[in-house]
């Protein structure tokens, strides 16, 4: 009697993360633009939201994946090839941070095209909000940007005013407890408060 064994391909067991993928902290991830080959891996993260930092339309295949998995997309169009003005970059990063630090949006994936400059700026500003020293912020930025590190990005991160973000959060009655730990939670007072206007796709 002949026994036919089905050959198992290598792809059957491999979950492939997107380029430059890493965990920023519990519930926050970063990467480059996910490809269809990365979708199985993304499913394991149980994402609620994706923060997309490019101006180009989100790929149709990716939109279908988000719809099928009930993942919300927030897009902040920051130019990559040409350096955006500081004011435009600041506004986009500020708005993205409001989404990022709201734990109701976690787990969340941040990405641009390669997960280097725009993503690095957003994560760098988050680290400043978390009171990281600049040397550690720049070391993390450099690790992902590699030889394409940009001094303009570092200068932007260094000059980013996290106090303005804290004041904004306080003004809409956000309160954070134990941020960065498993016990963190968000309290949001609904009464007589105008909620921030978020641009979502």
Supply the residues annotated as catalytic: 112
Q: Could you give the 3-state DSSP secondary structure of residue 83?
A: coil
- How many CA atoms lie less than 13 Å away from 193 in the CB half-sphere? 14
Whole-number Å distance between alpha carbons of 31 and 116? 8
Q: Are strands 108-111 and 28-31 parallel, antiparallel or unpaired?
A: parallel
Measured over the CA atoms of residue 89, residue 95, residue 100 and residue 101, the dihedral's sign is: positive
How large is the angle between the packed helices 117-129 and 151-159, nearest 10 degrees?
30
């Amino acid at each position: 009697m002949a026994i036919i064994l089905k050959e198992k391909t290598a792809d059957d067991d491999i979950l492939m993360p997107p380029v430059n993928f890493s965990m920023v902290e519990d519930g926050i991830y970063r990467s480059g633009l996910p490809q269809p080959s990365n979708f199985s891996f993304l499913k394991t993260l149980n994402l609620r939201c994706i923060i997309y930092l490019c101006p180009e339309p989100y790929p149709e295949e990716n939109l279908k994946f988000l719809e099928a998995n009930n993942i919300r997309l927030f897009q902040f169009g920051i130019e990559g090839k040409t350096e955006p003005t500081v004011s435009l970059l600041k506004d986009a990063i500020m708005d993205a941070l409001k989404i990022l630090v709201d734990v109701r949006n976690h787990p969340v994936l941040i990405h641009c095209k390669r997960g280097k400059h725009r993503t690095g700026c957003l994560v760098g500003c988050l680290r400043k909000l978390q009171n990281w020293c600049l040397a550690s912020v720049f070391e993390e930025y450099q690790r992902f940007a590699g030889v394409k590190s940009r001094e303009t990005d570092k200068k932007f991160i260094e000059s980013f005013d996290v106090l303005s973000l804290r004041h904004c959060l306080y003004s809409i009655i956000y309160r954070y407890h134990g941020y960065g730990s498993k016990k963190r939670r968000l309290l949001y007072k609904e009464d007589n408060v105008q909620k921030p206007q978020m641009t979502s796709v």
